[in-house]
Chains A and B, each alone.
Chain A
């Protein structure tokens, strides 16, 4: 504990949370430097990255990236909390320190939209590559409660009437919508010279009355 305060003293407040976790808070820019010290210092020797996770404190607050480290020499888990600006969520990558942080960082990018600068493979990991939203942010609403919220329908993916079905038509016979007869023939869509949207009647085939009455 004393050692920890000495070695990463200039960072920020250090505090006990409970008997088996020590917590320190640092700024986002110093993440690599501090974690390198924690890992390589012979007296500290936090050799294992147990977890890396992101927390969203709401639209008016900030993100936080939280690392949990383990060392054989200390009885407690070490929690390192780094604050990330929500308007411009950027933080340096720690993949040079632990390659295993790659999937954690890809997940945080996918779910929260935090950009890890220097990460060579920052792709979405769970959602499809053309997904445009970050589902684990606090202001991303589940479909169940989207209709009741003041922010309903802000995300285009929650509004079926804005879907560009030509994208789906190109998937060919595997497309379940085509199999169900919900789509116009692909030829009709593609041959349209102006590239206009398909007929509204076909587009709204799957939209229920409840969806239409949702406030936008």
Chain B
């Protein structure tokens, strides 16, 4: 059987058809009759399929998908090992240099905002867990703060300290994994294994306090679900005694490594002004030299009682973003020690009814997640469900720098630059 014959028992593929038949099929399907011809010549038959299969909707899209001399489109994803979830990048390349890039999202869109409008305030906290699955504790933190503000209560001091403790633990393993993924995308396998050993130790610890390994469902409106217990404390002590051995092993493997430095330094530089303009937040913003951290800029309890100064880097390249993560892991360890020292006694849950009906009003609460400013805007109409529940995910906004950064870099560097931004698609697509 030759390649042009339709396969047995299958619907015929448009690629197999002759031009007239293809035009008819495409017209029947509401597409433009012929694919956009590539002036750049034949690329192994790829110019018979155009991306996207429809007329461009905006000027920017027309510009993106119009090929110049010697240019071609390379599709990366949605199921690509380096895209950190399910996302698609359409790269416009000339030989091996990227000239333009389109970020295509929505493969993981679950409509969490819409679902939350039909869920009670307590159940919303379970919906947001799988959003940014690397930092589920942070995902629950901002809605809990927003709903408490709506309802006019505050969590007891001990609950606030336990919250800070678990989110800092979460930040440590999230940043540790980012180091591993960055190395993996560049081509080094070992760091991700150390990253996962560290993550497993922390996750087992969090499972001891919350009951679940990944999607913790630990926060409640007005407090947290459980007080700290013996297993959690003994695991925390054992883990703390190792003094971040796995992270330090990674650091020893990567920071001075000549290949790693060659692949990351002066790569994907985000200037201070660009970062502000594009809405980049979190470690990526601080790596560009802007000392903005919600924990210090607009502190939420108990961070106003902790000693804390944001760390910044100078250059804003991939290497600086990596260094920033290491510095923040150590900073988080410092915060964890302070929290354990200062943790007060008392209840961990305020008195709230089973179904909460806040007075009509609106509340905005923002926290610092491992990926940046994560905020929730909630509106109540007096009913048992939020009238509007809006989440601002930091990696969603940070992805906008990709089309700005990529032109001029090689295809292989897409991975490094993307991994340095540390986007999590569960959060991007909501």
A55 within 8 Å of B by Cβ? yes
How many residues of B are in contact with the other chain, CB < 8 A?
57
Q: Of B26, B298, B430, which is within 8 A of A170 by CB?
A: B26
CA distance A121 to B105 in the complex (A): 14
Known A-B contacts A50-B392, A190-B24; the reply to A100 vs B400 at CB < 8 A is yes
B118 in contact with A126 (CB, 8 Å): no
A53 in contact with B392 (CB, 8 Å): yes
CA distance A20 to B366 in the complex (A): 11
Q: Which residues, 4 to 52 on B, are CB-close (under 8 Å) to A? A: 7, 10-14, 21, 24-26, 28-31, 52
Least Cβ distance of B109 to chain A in Å?
Answer: 4
Stretch at the interface among B173-181, B239-247, B372-380, B411-419: B372-380
B340 within 8 Å of A by Cβ? no
Known A-B contacts A21-B364, A98-B277; the reply to A68 vs B58 at CB < 8 A is no
CA distance A122 to B28 in the complex (A): 27
B141 within 8 Å of A by Cβ? no
Residues of B within 8 A of A47 (CB): 276
Q: Of A18, A20, A136, which is within 8 A of B114 by CB?
A: A136
Q: Of A124, A127, A170, which is within 8 A of B28 by CB?
A: A170
CA distance A183 to B377 in the complex (A): 45
Closest B-chain residue to A138, C-beta based? Answer: B117
A170 in contact with B276 (CB, 8 Å): no
B118 in contact with A142 (CB, 8 Å): yes
CA distance A101 to B280 in the complex (A): 11
A68 in contact with B377 (CB, 8 Å): yes
Known A-B contacts A68-B377, A72-B297, A129-B57; the reply to A50 vs B29 at CB < 8 A is no
Main secondary structure of the interface of B (DSSP, over half): mixed
CA distance A129 to B28 in the complex (A): 18
CA distance A205 to B115 in the complex (A): 29
B279 in contact with A100 (CB, 8 Å): yes
Closest A-chain residue to B398, C-beta based? Answer: A100
A142 in contact with B30 (CB, 8 Å): no
Residues of A within 8 A of B7 (CB): 173
B28 in contact with A190 (CB, 8 Å): yes
Known A-B contacts A135-B114, A170-B14, A175-B11; the reply to A125 vs B375 at CB < 8 A is no
Q: Of A21, A100, A167, A187, which is within 8 A of B12 by CB?
A: A187
A-B CB contact pairs (8 Å), 18 listed:
A17-B362, A20-B298, A51-B375, A51-B377, A66-B377, A68-B377, A77-B298, A99-B400, A99-B404, A103-B396, A121-B59, A121-B61, A126-B429, A130-B30, A172-B11, A173-B10, A173-B13, A186-B12
Additional A-B contact list (11), CB under 8 Å, known A50-B373, A77-B298, A120-B59: A18-B363, A50-B366, A79-B364, A102-B400, A103-B399, A125-B105, A125-B106, A130-B30, A142-B114, A183-B11, A190-B21
3 tightest A-B contacts by CB? Answer: A100-B279, A170-B29, A121-B60
User: Residues on B close to A: CB < 8 A?
Assistant: 7, 10-14, 21, 24-26, 28-31, 52, 54, 57-61, 105-106, 109, 111, 113-115, 118, 149, 276-280, 292, 297-298, 361-364, 366, 373, 375, 377, 379, 388, 390, 392, 396-397, 399-400, 404, 429-430
